Amino acid sequence: MRRPVVAGNWKMHGSRADNTRLVDALVEASDALPCDVVICPPAVYLWEVGRQVKDSRIALGAQSLCAEAQGAFTGEVSSGMLRDVGASYVIVGHSERRALYGETDALVARKFVAAQSSGLTPILCVGETLEEWEQGATEQVVARQLDAVLELAGVAAFARAIVAYEPVWAIGTGKNATPDQAQAVHAFIRARIAARDAIIGDGLRLLYGGSVKAANAAELFGQPDVDGGLVGGASLKADEFVRICVAADGGRA
């Protein structure tokens, strides 16, 4: 049985004061949640938020990392540093990193490997743009993004990873994929991993991301291959995020 996961991607939002309020409310609710919960604040806040969640079941994740271990890479943060300040997960290949910061499939694959080299669990994001969706190229795009990582890291690495399917046209737009659409792509991803290793494919936790909110979470998470969510905007509101986490048992509990 795959344990559901809900991860909150705060993106470039927050302040020390706002974070304290949000995280206090989440910690208070966290014991009763039916899933693994990960919150991903901006890197500068990781240490402090990590202190706040220390005695709770909430885990800490980063939003990105450098593919290199250390050295002359001004402005970058390495996987070892993220580990050092208490992160145990890191988002890799988010569509905003791919689109706005030129992260290629090859670089994303190197970041995935770098994350695991320090013991971080990568949350690998894949997903098609609106144009690709309209062209019916979803499977082709997702396969290409997955294969780049499979080729560099090998299928065994997916035993220690999470994959998030995030159709770019659904991110921050209020337009989510329907549960059937999400399920179809998730099944495709699982089959692609399972073709190389059936046990790893079966155990791989697949998250849906893109305008997840309390109102649509239960239906999305109720799909057989949707094991939780990667939540952006709705992860900034404690009540809403907790309600999404509650929906993550998807009728499995």
Q: Which residues bind ligand PGA (CB under 6 A)?
A: 9, 166, 171-172, 209-212, 230-234
Task: From the candidates 96, 128, 166, 240, give the one annotated as an active-site residue.
Answer: 166
In the complex, minimum distance from the CB of residue 162 to ligand PGA, in angstroms, rounded to a whole number: 13
Separation between Cα atoms, residue 206 and residue 104, nearest integer Å: 21
94 catalytic residue (yes or no): yes
Q: Residue 118's closest CA among 93, 159, 87, 151? A: 87
Give the CA distances from residue 200 to residues 29, 124, 147, in Å, rounded to whole numbers and listed in that order: 32, 15, 15
Q: How far is the CB of 250 from ligand PGA (least distance, A)?
A: 18
User: In whole angstroms, what is the distance from residue 61 CA to residue 11 CA?
Assistant: 12
DSSP bridge partners of 90:
62, 122
Query: What is the rounded distance in angstroms from the CA atom of residue 140 to the CA atom of residue 222?
Result: 25
Closer residue to ligand PGA, CB minimum distance, 61 or 201 = 61
166 is catalytic: yes
The smaller minimum CB distance to ligand PGA, of residues 82 and 236, is found at 236
53 CB-side CA count, 13 A? 27
Q: Which is nearer to ligand PGA, 10 or 158 (CB)?
A: 10
Q: Which is nearer to ligand PGA, 38 or 234 (CB)?
A: 234
State the minimum distance, in angstroms, from the CB of residue 81 to ligand PGA: 22
Q: How far is the CB of 71 from ligand PGA (least distance, A)?
A: 29
Selecting among 94, 103, 128, 186, the annotated active-site residue is: 94
Q: Which residues are catalytic?
A: 94, 166
